[in-house]
C-alpha cells in the first residue's frame, strides 16, 4: 500500500501497521477506546485543543471499508 489520505490525514503503511499492533495489544478494547487512544497517540486535536476521537473513529471505519483492517464488532445498545 502506498500512502493514502483518509479524514484529511496521510496514512502511511507504518501507520496502518501501528493501528494493527495497537488492536492486537488490546483485544478487549472496543472502537471507542481504539479511536481515543489513536487520537491521543497522534496528538490529533481540533483548533480548540479538543481530541478528535470521532475523526479517528471515522478514519478507522473508512480503513475497514477499504479492507485494510478489521475492527472489533460494534457494541449494541
The pLDDT tens digits for 45-71 are: 999 999 999 999 999 999 999 999 999
CA-derived radius of gyration, the chain = 12
pLDDT score of 77 more than 80: no
Q: Which is more confident, 28 or 1?
A: 28
DSSP H or E segment with residue 65: helix 53-65
pLDDT score of 36 more than 80: yes
Task: Give the residue extent of every domain in the chain.
Answer: 29-70
DSSP H or E segment with residue 6: strand 4-6
Task: Render pLDDT for 22-35 as a digit per residue (tens, 0 to 9).
Answer: 999 999 999 999 99
Q: What is the pLDDT of residue 25?
A: 97
Amino acid at each position: 500500500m502506498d500512502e493514502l489520505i483518509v479524514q484529511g490525514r496521510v496514512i502511511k503503511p507504518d501507520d496502518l501497521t501501528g493501528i494493527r499492533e495497537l488492536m492486537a495489544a488490546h483485544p478487549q478494547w472496543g472502537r471507542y477506546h481504539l479511536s481515543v487512544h489513536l487520537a491521543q497517540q497522534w496528538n490529533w486535536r481540533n483548533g480548540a485543543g479538543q481530541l478528535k476521537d470521532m475523526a479517528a473513529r471515522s478514519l478507522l471505519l473508512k480503513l475497514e471499508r477499504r479492507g485494510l483492517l478489521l475492527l472489533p464488532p460494534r457494541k449494541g445498545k
